[in-house]
A and B are shown apart, each in its own frame.
Chain A
């Protein structure tokens, strides 16, 4: 889709300029001109009071879309354990597969994968494509890209979903270029177009200020990455069976161009913010790293975990693993305490789906209060001890 200005109708009112999220429109001789920053998002089309902006379809060389069937989930494993996002993708993948009327498949690479394969069936996969080889034990871009691209070429899935982990975000782009298709990053919801069954992929754009629904109309597979904690987990059905398809794994010399020399763990245990039901999160308003010890006391009391805004990570008070927000983790706990967090949109983007948000901030005009269910204007160092006391 692209947008076009109908010159005869444009009155030069500049309303479109204000509404363009990408700053792509300029006025030349009182006529709107669409510049190269235009993404064809269409935000200006509805806003034009004179109907002077239209969308135009671009015809493209068609791929045989009918040849592609099935929803695939990349079953990312580390140390032979499935990443939590895989179970969420299987849950969402099942829903999409049912809506399209096709099957849910998982593709897994690694070594000694029998137990994981059983687990994937139990979580709803109808078929599991298994690439079992010592070269695939740990993720490497070249080895995983080759094996999965070969499988995509041979078995032609219509949808491929990957977790937006450090691995999924490395693998996805490489696969998309090889398969000559699109990839939509960090999707937060999916729908199936009731007419032509194409995948509607919705994601935040522009730091969460704008939501965009992306389609991949003429290329297959339709590929997306999804952050963990965004979709609902698949149900576990013990003993459920499915079909195993074994993939051939053959590498030529020098085909895998990177070598892992060492793996170093820096965080004691993987911080599982996405699974936490209660999160007590702190920001710059805490003033120092000691504030997090106070938050930890409340978190421990409630059986929750502590987290942090980006500002507190940048200040060196918390490790990046605890960061909630656009460039950190997306969370949706039952209760999210935002303590001394002003509420930058990047932060809000990562926690706004929490069931209940409680904001504690000295500044009553802090944007965090706009999204909070309950707000307390006050000093964190007084309010938190009072809550702990009230809990006692």
Chain B
């Protein structure tokens, strides 16, 4: 069995702070990480490999050359091969154009029986690229997957809903997007880290994956950023003082005066 995992390197948005004076982002020291949902996707693939040692796990990403660090981490966790799609021509891509490039990379690898992706990336939160890659590869997709069992040439998965889940059967090849409830991603092992440096990370540009510069990156993105701005900060309110009971009374008085309660 051949399992592909689509991953993304993202800035750790939990570490981002706003400069209270200028209202701008403080980026210094913000680490780049493997997108959390993608770590669950990779764990799902590696667990299948644990059950079925002949399985091969390939990771693929699109990004700048620095994304190799993240791919190295994936190899150290247990992935067999890593592929980086990196080209200035891929830059500025929206989800639509990103999915074209990743689908082209997957075709070049020769496809997979199961393609995992994270539900969404924390820098954009769109949850679009996974299902869009599936559309471009013309394979079925199940999003929000929280459990899987392989049954012959099919897989049975749990698809998370707002108030429960569905059990869905789908034939391979298929694309599944993983939620964090799926599993607990494993750590890299010392041995894995050592081994990862012996492995080659394959880097492909637009010619390698046979995508014309007009069909990827900014040129092929239907959506454009018209403008961006820092959200207006809500002004700081009133800090109440006194004993606990005085503060509780003061709060209720304020709420009653404003006719909120």
Residues of A participating in the B interface, judged by any CB pair closer than 8 Å: 1-2, 18-23, 35-43, 58, 60, 141-142, 165-166, 169-170, 172-174, 176-178, 180-186, 200, 204-219, 257-267, 269-271, 302, 320-321, 326-327, 334-335, 344-346, 352, 355-358, 364, 369-379, 382-383, 386-387, 389-391
Contact = CB atoms under 8 A, between A and B. Distances in A.
A174 to B, nearest CB: 5
A208 B16 CA distance: 10
A168 B181 CA distance: 20
B260 A344 contact: no
Given A58-B218, A208-B231, A376-B240, A262 B96 contact: no
B260 A335 contact: yes
B227 A213 contact: yes
Given A141-B142, A258-B168, A390 B237 contact: no
Q: Which of B169, B223, B230, B249 lies at the interface centre, i.e. has the most chain A CB atoms within 10 A of its CB?
A: B223
B124 A205 contact: yes
Contacts of B254: 374
B225 A1 contact: yes
Contacts of B156: 261
A36 B168 contact: no
Interface stretch (B50-58, B73-81, B126-134, B196-204): B126-134
Given A216-B223, A370-B20, A261 B168 contact: yes
B239 A369 contact: yes
Contacts of B174: 257
A207 B168 contact: no
Interface in B150-192: 156, 159-171, 174, 181
Contact of B164 (A208, A216, A266): A266
B122 interface: yes
Contacts, number: 289
Contact of A212 (B127, B129, B225, B258): B225
B218 A2 contact: yes
Contacts of B222: 176, 180-182, 216, 218-219
B27 interface: yes
Contacts of A217: 224
B169 A258 contact: yes
B96 A182 contact: yes
A67 B233 CA distance: 41
A182 B132 CA distance: 11
A282 B255 CA distance: 20
Please list the 3 inter-chain residue pairs (A to B) with the smallest Cβ-Cβ separation, ordered nearest first. Answer: A36-B91, A182-B222, A182-B223
Contact of B92 (A39, A141, A185): A39
A185 B225 contact: no
Contact of A36 (B90, B141, B221, B240): B90
A151 B238 CA distance: 53
Given A1-B226, A218-B222, A262-B167, A375 B24 contact: no
B248 A389 contact: yes
Contacts of B90: 36
B230 A210 contact: yes
Interface residues of B, number: 89
A346 B255 CA distance: 27
A381 to B, nearest CB: 10
Given A36-B91, A374-B238, A215 B86 contact: no
Given A177-B136, A383-B244, A214 B224 contact: yes
Contact of A211 (B99, B164, B228, B237): B228
B95 interface: yes
Contact of A169 (B20, B143, B230): B143
B181 A206 contact: no
A219 B143 CA distance: 26
B244 to A, nearest CB: 5
B167 A355 contact: no
B238 to A, nearest CB: 6
Contacts of A41: 225, 228
Nearest to A364: B239
Given A174-B132, A345-B18, A204 B140 contact: no
A141 B164 CA distance: 18
B27 A18 contact: yes
Given A174-B135, A213-B228, A391-B252, 18 more contacts: A39-B94, A40-B92, A40-B224, A42-B228, A60-B219, A170-B131, A173-B130, A178-B135, A182-B96, A207-B125, A209-B231, A260-B168, A269-B163, A344-B14, A355-B260, A370-B233, A378-B244, A389-B248
A142 B130 CA distance: 15
Given A18-B27, A264-B165, A258 B247 contact: no
A210 B163 contact: no
Contact of B16 (A60, A180, A209): A209
B219 to A, nearest CB: 6
B195 interface: no
Nearest to A184: B223
Nearest to A355: B260
A320 B181 contact: yes
Contacts of B109: none
B252 A387 contact: yes
A263 B166 CA distance: 4
Contacts of B170: 257-259
B230 A211 contact: yes
Nearest to A334: B260
Contacts of A211: 228-231
Contacts of A20: 27
A327 B230 CA distance: 20
B1 interface: no
B47 interface: no
A270 B163 contact: yes
A174 B131 contact: yes
B144 A166 contact: yes
Interface in B201-222: 217-219, 221-222
B111 interface: no
A375 B237 contact: yes
